[in-house]
Amino acid sequence: MEVLAIILSLIAVAMAYVALQRTGGLKDIRQQMDHLATKTEDTAKGARETTADILQRLEHMVRGSGAQPPNKDENVPPPPDAGSKP
């Protein structure tokens, strides 16, 4: 009975390996992980910029400075090329 269980488990492992190779293998999984990491970094960067802008506006409201907040587009370096491919 134990021999039958071992044989069935080996067949299951072989089938899982074949299925992994047919769907792209480990190379495809690495590419997907890289794509998701880039996408996450872009999202986090956007959230940081939005938070910084909100905090800057709040600071001007609290301090009551009469000066207008600086234009968002001034003195902002262009975003780095993230290298994400659609």
Per-residue pLDDT of 15-49, as tens digits, reads 999 988 888 777 777 888 889 999 999 888 888 89
> In Å, how far from its chain's centre is CA 30?
13
Q: What is the mean pLDDT of residues 73-84?
A: 58
State the pTM of this model: 0.39
Share above pLDDT 90 across residues of the chain, in percent, rounded to a whole number: 33
pLDDT of residue 9: 96
- Lookup: tokens for 81: 């090329």
> In Å, how far from its chain's centre is CA 78?
20
